[in-house]
Chain A
Amino acid sequence: MALTAGSPEPQSRSLPPAWTAGDTVGNMQEVLEALETYKKKDPAKVVVRFKAVGNAPIMKQNFYKITASNRFQAVIQFLRKELGWKAGDPLFTYINLAFSPAPDDTVSNLFKSFATDGHLIVNYSTTAAWG
């Protein structure tokens, strides 16, 4: 199974010769089904641990199980609700006291890359801390 599609020119994005034979339609169906498999949302939950920074109010409960397929934006919204924040109240969120993730990244992706001892640590602050 050799991949020969190594040409840098986009114009030559043609199939390697190995693909010319056989039932390509059937294979296409397989690929589309495979894509659907990867699109399925991960129902697993992961532990998110909220930690206040600076003057931010401390939460009574700071461990939550959150569905991994949620986007980080959902975590921000959940946190705002728990804190009783109104729209426009400033809130800055960070992972591991280090960076703000993109709001459309998933909790699952962040957990896989940045979890510490089985927790995804989300720091929150009312002022920009590591912006």
Chain B
Amino acid sequence: MSYTPRHAPSAFTTPASTTLFRRLTWEGTVPIEVRVDPKELPANSDRGLECYYLQAPRVSYLPLLVPEIKRFLTDVVFDDAAARAMKEEDWWFESDDGALLKWHWPVGLIYDYHTITSSIRPSAPPQQTAPLRLTLHLASPPTDKLLLSPSADACKQAFMGQMKEADFLRWGNTKRMTGLRKAEQDGLWEGIKEHNFDEYWRVAAKVTPTTSPNRSYSPPPPSATSMHTRPPSADPGSSGQPDKDGAYNVRSVPVRMYLPDGPVLQDLVPPMLEDGTMHTLAHFLHTHLPLIFPPPNTASGRELAYPLVQGVLVPGEAEMAWLGACMAGADGWVNVCVGIQRDAPRF
């Protein structure tokens, strides 16, 4: 990736474009096919109909999709006796490559992670818009691997934990999250449940940094370089500056990197580099995954990998701070999924 170091944020930082990209991110959906494991289908089920298709919001979670799937199964597939005996707390999902699906991962992340993991399989089909094929198991959940119970409430707690972790990364404390009233915190979750952009962002705007333009961009204070060793109580004394809530003033953008078949990597991601330039996605990938994204000017540099954020191929010039403000998931995290381009190019 080549890029020209920039000292000022891109043009995509006006309030209107921030709202636009947040809405595009929010409205993103993924196609899902749910098939009950044929071996577990109760007697007298209508076998011709055991498949259910839905278009799920990327910001949603599997436990929030369960009621809709359950309604379909009880109304259409199962007979009355089987419907009564069904215990959704025993349900669990598996993808077509045998991976267990985590209850606390956003649906969009599950989809993208499956996309990149398929990208290294020799038999990977070339199709791009295929549904994510899930097998629904009705019994014997491997709870030690799923880690969380399948309830919407456990999922909400995990979501709040992620929101607070993101808050802590940005500011060195969780004051913005803990400062929300209970009704506001609940409103975040309700917004996700109802897929309601306005309801979610009414509250989320209080904790998510803005990308307001027309500010002066001085290099970060020297203390930013000692971020690793600074105790959490030593919040940067940015108070008094007009842009203290800005995306370019956070201590670190909440970012996780996902590689095919794992692992998941996380590190501090300052919005500005020490030389005062913007921290771009290209710089981030060259720094953290140099074997896959070789830095420019190295002889071996031929990239076969691509970064996906919210299902979108993101250009290397994208700023990490901008991604954090405009393309993070509802839990505040930017999930960068790295896929491998396996097949011969299609031109």
**Which residues does A use to contact B, with CB under 8 Å?**
1-3, 5-8, 10-11, 13-15, 18-20, 22, 24, 27-28, 30-32, 34-35, 37-39, 73, 95-96, 98-106, 109-110, 112-118, 130-131
Contacts and interface: CB of A to CB of B under 8 A. Distances in A.
B345 A116 contact: no
Interface string B310-324: 011111100000000
Contacts of A73: 147
B2 interface: yes
B189 to A, nearest CB: 13
Interface of B: 1-2, 102, 104, 120, 128-129, 147-148, 157-158, 160-162, 164-165, 167-169, 173-174, 178, 228-229, 231-232, 252, 256, 259-268, 282, 289, 291-292, 294, 296-297, 300-306, 311-316, 340-342, 344-347
A129 to B, nearest CB: 11
Contact of A114 (B232, B289, B316): B232
Per DSSP, are chain B's interface residues mostly helix, strand or loop, or mixed? loop
B341 A1 contact: no
A1 B2 CA distance: 6
A103 B341 CA distance: 31
A123 B69 CA distance: 38
A98 B345 contact: no
A6 B314 contact: yes
Nearest to A100: B161
A10 B265 contact: no
A12 to B, nearest CB: 8
22 contacts: A1-B302, A3-B1, A3-B303, A6-B314, A7-B313, A10-B129, A15-B345, A19-B302, A27-B304, A31-B292, A34-B289, A34-B292, A35-B292, A39-B261, A95-B165, A105-B266, A112-B267, A113-B169, A116-B232, A130-B164, A130-B178, A131-B157
Nearest to A18: B302
B147 to A, nearest CB: 4
Given A98-B174, A102-B104, A117-B229, A13 B345 contact: no
A109 B266 contact: yes
A19 B164 contact: no
Given A13-B313, A131-B160, A39 B262 contact: yes
A31 B313 contact: no
Given A102-B162, A106-B263, A109-B265, A14 B148 contact: no
A41 to B, nearest CB: 8
